[in-house]
Structure 1
């Protein structure tokens, strides 16, 4: 079976106030083309379908268009799970009816083991879930077995372990899971995580051991935005199809295709083309205005000098500035000793001049004359 593994669509996401809907529509068109060209039979979506638990109308419509194209036009099976950004209850709406149309979607655990069978393939659906939710849902069996479910690792050891008990070695067994999976010997603090990936556990362990998934013929992961394997080639993240933060600017986004059977495993990556590249620029105002780049790129700009009304001036050339910062080189004037004991000895106009120097601003003679007039007026009022 030829399978397309997707994850982290984040439909409706905004990056620094810029909507990604246009980009997502374009990516979906590329996906349709790949499915047709490579004769994909099944599409897996490993969570974070929406970016928010309460998606906008525009986001709902886009997902509807996407799934309708996949199922009604391209004729593929779609198997999807919820991620930590999704609302499990909303995704579960009408799932029984939708399954008859070829859309198998699971938001929350109705049973401990959730399996979908297609031909000689069994797909085990493991949506994102917190330890607390699992303790509540399966309280009886957890108490009977005297299990401790306090971390994500405990949770998936329990869930994946139950699924593994039902595996038929004569069939192809594929797992879908949304979470932070690490290999044996890896330290979760050392694993690269993109800025746009939400932390699952504040101050605690959020990783899950890869070994719980090694009994499956393939595990389709979602959560991390880079397209990568864990340690095994068969335990993989599809990554997000779009760059959702500047920490992803150097990632080459791609679509993961697997051609798999009991005695076969082929992997292919199809590069995705960005509508707008993500670019970081640093330098003087003049240098940045002269940069040889796409003027519609998503930009993170760092100016090395202070410029009055910089954003509006930069937008006269660049249409999509997501971030603007200023890093002014330290000036000798900033090292001057203006302690509280001696500051009264320094003329006010000199203090303003030194302050200007420290942030890269020169006060010209006309501005200085106006400044002195204001200082004198303040002194008169004070006295």
Structure 2
């Protein structure tokens, strides 16, 4: 079976106030063409379908268009699970009706083992779930077995363990899971995680051992945004199809396609083309303005000097500045100590220049004239 493994679509996401909807539409078109070219039969979506638990109308419409095109136009199956950004209840709506059309979505654990059988394939669906939810949902079983479910690792040891108890080795067994999976001997603190990935646990362990998935013929993971394997070639993250933070700027986004059967496993990565590149720039205002880059790129700019009204001035050249910061070396700052006794004897121009220079700002003659006028107006009002 030819399968496309997707994850972390985050439909409706905004990055620093910029909507990704148009970018996502472009990516979905690339997905359609890749499905046709490689004759994909089934699409797996490993969670974080939406970016928010309550998606916008625009996001809901885009997902509806996407799934309708896959099923009604391309005539392929879709199997999907919820992620930590999704609302499990919303995704479960009309699940039984949709399954008859070839769309299988599982948001909540209505039962411990959730299996979909298609031809000689068994798909085991394991959406994102917290330990507390599993403790409450399967309280009787957990108490009878005297199990301790306090971490995500405990949770998936329990859930995946139930799924693998009765695996049919004559069939192809595929798992879908949304979470943070690490290999044997790995330290979760050393695993690269993108800035746009929401922590699953605050101050606690959020990782799950890869070993719980090694009995499956393939495990389609979601959560981390880089396209990567864990340790086994068959336990993989598809990664997000779009760069959702500047920590992802150097990642090569791609679509994962596997051709799998009991005696076959081939994997291909099909590169995705960015609508706009993500670029970080650092330097003086003049250096930034003269940079040889796409003026429509998503930009993170760090100025090494203070510039009045910097954002508006930069936007005269660059249309999509997502972040703007100022980083001035302390050696360039000028600090002068004027006592209250002598401050009245210092010309206002000098005081303003000293104040500006202390934060790295250079005031030109036109700006100085404007400041003088403002101060004079304030004096007139005060008198």
**TM-score, normalised with respect to structure 1:** 0.94
Q: Which residue of 2 aligns with 1:60?
A: 60
Q: Deviations over 1:274-294 (max 9, x none)?
A: 111111111122221121111
Shift of 1:328: 2.2
Q: Which moved more, 1:33-42 or 1:309-318?
A: 309-318
Q: 1:59 to 1:372 in 2, by over 3 A?
A: closer
Establish whether residue 252 from structure 1 lines up as the match of residue 243 from structure 2: no
Q: Is the 8 A contact 1:83 1:222 kept in 2?
A: yes
Q: 1:344 to 1:151 in 2, by over 3 A?
A: farther
Q: Is the 8 A contact 2:335 2:354 kept in 1?
A: no
Structure 2: stretches of 5+ with no match in the other structure = none
Superposition pairs of residues 101-180 of structure 1, within 5 angstroms: 101-180=101-180
Q: Is the 8 A contact 1:44 1:79 kept in 2?
A: yes
Q: Is the 8 A contact 1:331 1:358 kept in 2?
A: no
| SS of alignment partner, residue 125 of structure 2 | strand
Q: Deviations over 1:214-260 (max 9, x none)?
A: 01010000000000000110000000000000110000000000111
| SS of alignment partner, residue 22 of structure 1 | helix
| SS of alignment partner, residue 194 of structure 2 | coil
Establish whether residue 192 from structure 1 lines up as the match of residue 192 from structure 2: yes
Q: Counterparts of 1:91 and 1:111 in 2: how far apart (Å)? A: 16
Q: 1:29 to 1:158 in 2, by over 3 A?
A: same
Establish whether residue 7 from structure 1 lines up as the match of residue 7 from structure 2: yes
Q: Counterparts of 1:333 and 1:242 in 2: how far apart (Å)? A: 40
Q: Which residue of 1 aligns with 2:270?
A: 270
Q: Which moved more, 1:296-305 or 1:157-166?
A: 296-305
| SS of alignment partner, residue 63 of structure 2 | helix
Shift of 1:355: 2.6
Q: Which residue of 2 aligns with 1:315?
A: 315
Q: Which residue of 2 aligns with 1:29?
A: 29
Q: 1:256 to 1:332 in 2, by over 3 A?
A: closer
Q: Counterparts of 1:67 and 1:5 in 2: how far apart (Å)? A: 15
Shift of 1:358: 2.4
Give the aligned CA root-mean-square deviation in angstroms: 2.2
Q: 1:88 to 1:371 in 2, by over 3 A?
A: same
Q: Which residue of 2 aligns with 1:358?
A: 358
**TM-score, normalised with respect to structure 2:** 0.94
Q: Which moved more, 1:2-11 or 1:283-292?
A: 283-292
Q: 1:105 to 1:355 in 2, by over 3 A?
A: same
Establish whether residue 285 from structure 1 lines up as the match of residue 279 from structure 2: no
Q: Which residue of 2 aligns with 1:80?
A: 80
Shift of 1:316: 1.4
Q: Counterparts of 1:108 and 1:343 in 2: how far apart (Å)? A: 67
Q: 1:370 to 1:181 in 2, by over 3 A?
A: closer
Structure 1: stretches of 5+ with no match in the other structure = none
Shift of 1:343: 6.3
Q: Counterparts of 1:67 and 1:39 in 2: how far apart (Å)? A: 17
| SS of alignment partner, residue 135 of structure 1 | helix
Q: Is the 8 A contact 2:333 2:359 kept in 1?
A: no
Q: 1:269 to 1:113 in 2, by over 3 A?
A: same
